[in-house]
A and B are shown apart, each in its own frame.
Chain A
């Protein structure tokens, strides 16, 4: 028997009768809308009942999920190991904050050197500010892309890391724009569950659509073998650029919302440390898996709080252990190394969620081999 016969209808490995494409797509859309409505209901209940702290952490989780999904697009899906998201987040945060702060607040903050003229005179609402911040960050990524994508592999990692450092140094020194090491204070606290989860939804919508389109398949082809992808007629440079600018756009917007959640920003927030945290998230979730990125982002946000336990004094089987501040980060780095050694593909590997898969595993789908 020929091997291919196994895959034919009725064969041992046949995926089963598929429903007509249009039908399953309509079903998936309905299921997605339903899930979105359920999530919204859940968020509303959370907002009504949960403590401010839980609400805050849930906002942070959504923003980190947005950052991780965007970072994963370039690192996991396209396979370009870059280390710059702290630069993009910083750019988005500063631009948004500078646009939304009122002229009076700005004058009060900029003590050493006044803010340069056009920025000092006006302020605009959050939504247009976020869009501008996203577009400016994307523009920055676009300009960065030309030198960055001339090199590959390890060199790409180090050049992008260099850009992240340069942005941090600029934020530290461009006193009349960023207020230097003092940073910006008094940013209005606008970000709530709806802003952060709304951004996550928009980001997921665009990035999932992209990944499942022919562009997404081209990006994965570049990840697997760039030379072969080029030979198949894929323009690797422009595809990488597309992934890079799109991820920069969402990272910039998420940075803006982050600034309006924590209300104070300074260059020390946007060090390589931020990139490192996002890297842990996408690696633990499974490089290349959007679902993994979202899952790991929430695990990281809440897990970081649970791990505070290790910094508190405890009584272990009669043994008094004093609290050691800073142990949390030691644990995080150990987790990353352990994941790399023992669980090389992360929690989800490269698998992604799909309704078809869920229904099949519940034994409901007509498409699955239930």
Chain B
């Protein structure tokens, strides 16, 4: 492989990786606070894509307005799921919450199949993402450049939010100690709702970019990115926002490089994430940036 091809593949890996990172953050934030794998996250992403599709295609809104609207609606959906399904189980064994999350995931998928129909819908790329840049041998779709940039902006905003605002501080405190935080006058339910809202909005953004990259949407589209992003979150050390970004980028790069360097193994691409996951968990059971568990 020559330098031009390598550059091109690096950019592809970066694009895919930043998508994984964007979705992985929702998993990691919820896990950090509730210790719950929100299996429905990928399906929340799918619903977010349909919101954006209705906005952009049915109502003819500009793409960024549709995206903002979809993020807001998806945030509301995230809060609704938390209040309806997870909140009654806060004191239940963690397995109950995990099973409920799987149930919610299948509920959204099947409701999506009933409401939206199983046939994929075309998701046209906005004009500004459809341009092809050419530098010498390197040909890159403008979407591939914009996705990492937009992701970086969103993530920088998120980090600022978590570090600097009171809600962000409360989130960090909550992930440390759920009981003491209540003594400090913080209502955990409101903070948890904010976490779900934020994570779901990011999932919607990730999903819309995903749908632009593979320009169609269907009710089961959230399954694969959801699973991969979860793996990315675990790779980076679940519960750790920086870890989720690292894990996402690592996974995206690894997948693109597998397909580029060993095309005969391209069919095994979807299994690579799990092979990586198992490999890393054997050596670092809490992920790359994860904290050591007390014995």
Contacts and interface: CB of A to CB of B under 8 A. Distances in A.
Interface of A: 81, 147, 150-151, 153-155, 157-159, 161-163, 165-166, 169-170, 172-173, 276, 279-280, 283, 287, 324-327, 329-330, 332-334, 336-337, 340-341, 344
Interface stretch (B97-105, B123-131, B161-169, B170-178): B97-105
Interface string B234-249: 1000000000000000
B270 interface: yes
B271 interface: yes
Contact of A279 (B97, B99, B275): B99
B92 A329 contact: no
Contact of A333 (B35, B106, B227, B234): B106
Interface stretch (B151-159, B200-208, B278-286): B278-286
B102 A344 contact: no
Nearest to A337: B103
A341 B100 CA distance: 8
B25 interface: no
Interface stretch (B4-12, B47-55, B107-115, B141-149): B107-115
A330 B107 CA distance: 5
12 contacts: A151-B281, A154-B37, A155-B281, A158-B231, A163-B278, A170-B268, A279-B99, A283-B99, A329-B110, A332-B110, A336-B103, A337-B100
Contact of A154 (B92, B94, B273): B94
A169 B277 CA distance: 16
Is chain B's binding surface mostly helix, strand, loop or mixed? helix
B191 interface: no
B198 to A, nearest CB: 21
Nearest to B277: A162
Given A155-B281, A162-B278, A81 B95 contact: yes
A150 B281 contact: yes
A340 B275 contact: no
Nearest to A167: B271
B106 to A, nearest CB: 4
B227 A159 contact: no
B88 interface: yes
B274 A163 contact: yes
Given A150-B285, A166-B274, A341 B89 contact: yes
A333 B108 CA distance: 9
B47 to A, nearest CB: 14
With a 10 A CB-CB cut-off, give which of A165, A283, A333 has the most chain B CB atoms: A333
A310 to B, nearest CB: 11
A325 B118 CA distance: 11
B37 A158 contact: yes
A42 B36 CA distance: 46
B80 to A, nearest CB: 13
Contact of A147 (B92, B111, B278): B278
Contacts of B31: 154
A352 B33 CA distance: 36
B98 A154 contact: yes
Contacts of B103: 280, 333-334, 336-337, 340
Interface magnitude class on chain B: 35 or more
A173 B267 contact: yes
B210 interface: no
Contact of B106 (A150, A153, A332): A332
B180 interface: no
B122 interface: no
A158 B282 contact: no
B189 interface: no
Nearest to B111: A330
A173 B269 CA distance: 10
B230 interface: yes
A333 B110 contact: yes
Contacts of B160: none
B182 interface: no
B85 interface: yes
Given A166-B271, A166-B275, A330-B110, A158 B234 contact: yes
A159 B287 CA distance: 13
A155 B95 contact: no
B279 to A, nearest CB: 9
A161 B230 CA distance: 12
Nearest to B274: A162
B281 A159 contact: yes
Contacts of B275: 166
Contacts of B227: 161, 165
B98 A157 contact: yes
A274 to B, nearest CB: 12
A70 B85 CA distance: 29
A207 B55 CA distance: 55
Given A326-B110, A344-B96, 16 more contacts: A154-B37, A157-B98, A162-B273, A166-B274, A279-B99, A283-B99, A325-B114, A330-B107, A332-B106, A333-B104, A333-B107, A334-B107, A336-B106, A337-B107, A341-B89, A344-B92
B102 A165 contact: no
Contacts of A153: 94
Interface in B79-94: 85, 88-89, 92, 94
Contacts of B270: 165, 169
Contacts of A162: 231, 273-274, 277-278
Nearest to B273: A162
Contacts of B104: 333, 337
A70 B266 CA distance: 35
Contacts of B278: 147, 159, 162-163
Contacts of B273: 162
Contacts of B271: 165-166, 169-170
Nearest to B223: A272
B114 A326 contact: yes
Given A158-B37, A169-B271, A330-B111, A340 B99 contact: yes
A276 B102 contact: yes
A147 B98 contact: no
